[in-house]
Amino acid sequence: MARWEPNASGRLTEAAMELFAERGYGKTTVEDIAARAGLTERTFFNYFTDKREVLFAGSEHFVKQVVDAVRAVPKSSAPLDTVIWAYESTNDFFEERRPFARKRSALIAAHPELQERELVKMMSLAAAMAEILKERGTSASAASLAAEAGLAVLRVGFEQWVKDTKDRSLVFHLRAARRQLEAVVDRAKKGARAG
């Protein structure tokens, strides 16, 4: 039996992020991470399947929170509102971990294989959102469009939130991205009608 270690998962995550910053992601091993956290490799593997999972374990929590939130939105809401409100509900979750989110984003941006994994996770989130919208009576194609347009808002809003030197909230940046999506679609609509 592994000995119970207080906050092992948090200590391992912190150790991993330090080492990724010091040596680079590619040169950090699970052994290094466990040693830095003062824990064993076995304890590491109780929490994460591999070193990549240190960066993605939180996203399961995120997906669960978003899916629970979307089910709580009144069914009369517009599909895109439903999706964006669900993302807004994660504001406090992310606020608490902005420093981690910043380091994580920089790491992902620097490694194509991590980017790919992030994209696949994000697209499965959009697919899950589209399924929920369909269950709530939205047509399949409107559900996909709302889920994928909502994902575009999340991706842009999140990127702005990570980069924001003024530390404004995720909700602030999601709303800004949403207004920008509206402007992008409006401008095209006018162009198409004039053309």
Residues in the site for a copy of itself, rule: CB under 8 A? 77-81, 84, 116, 119-120, 123, 141-142, 144-146, 148-149, 151-153, 155-156, 159-160, 177-178, 180-185, 187-192, 195
Handedness of CA 120, 126, 130, 136 (dihedral sign): positive
> Rounded to an integer, what distance in angstroms lies between the CA atom of residue 13 and that of residue 10?
5
What is the DSSP secondary structure assignment for residue 25, as one 8-state letter?
A: S
Question: Minimum CB separation from a copy of itself for residue 130, in Å?
Answer: 10
By beta-carbon proximity to a copy of itself, the closer residue of 39 and 79 is 79
Question: Minimum CB separation from a copy of itself for residue 2, in Å?
Answer: 33
**143 CB-near residues (< 8 Å, 6+ apart):** 79, 129, 130, 131, 133, 134
By beta-carbon proximity to a copy of itself, the closer residue of 34 and 143 is 143
Residue that is written with structure tokens 């978003």 in the block? 66
Question: Minimum CB separation from a copy of itself for residue 50, in Å?
Answer: 18
By beta-carbon proximity to a copy of itself, the closer residue of 40 and 180 is 180
Pull the structure tokens for residue 117.
Answer: 């994994």
Residue 15: what residue type? A
Question: Minimum CB separation from a copy of itself for residue 26, in Å?
Answer: 20
Residue that is written with structure tokens 């620097």 in the block? 110
Question: Minimum CB separation from a copy of itself for residue 9, in Å?
Answer: 27
Contact 52, 114 (CB under 8 A): yes
Question: Minimum CB separation from a copy of itself for residue 87, in Å?
Answer: 13
Strand residues in 101-153 grouped as ranges (E):
none
* Long-range contact set of residues 26-32: C-beta below 8 Å, sequence gap at least 24: 26/111
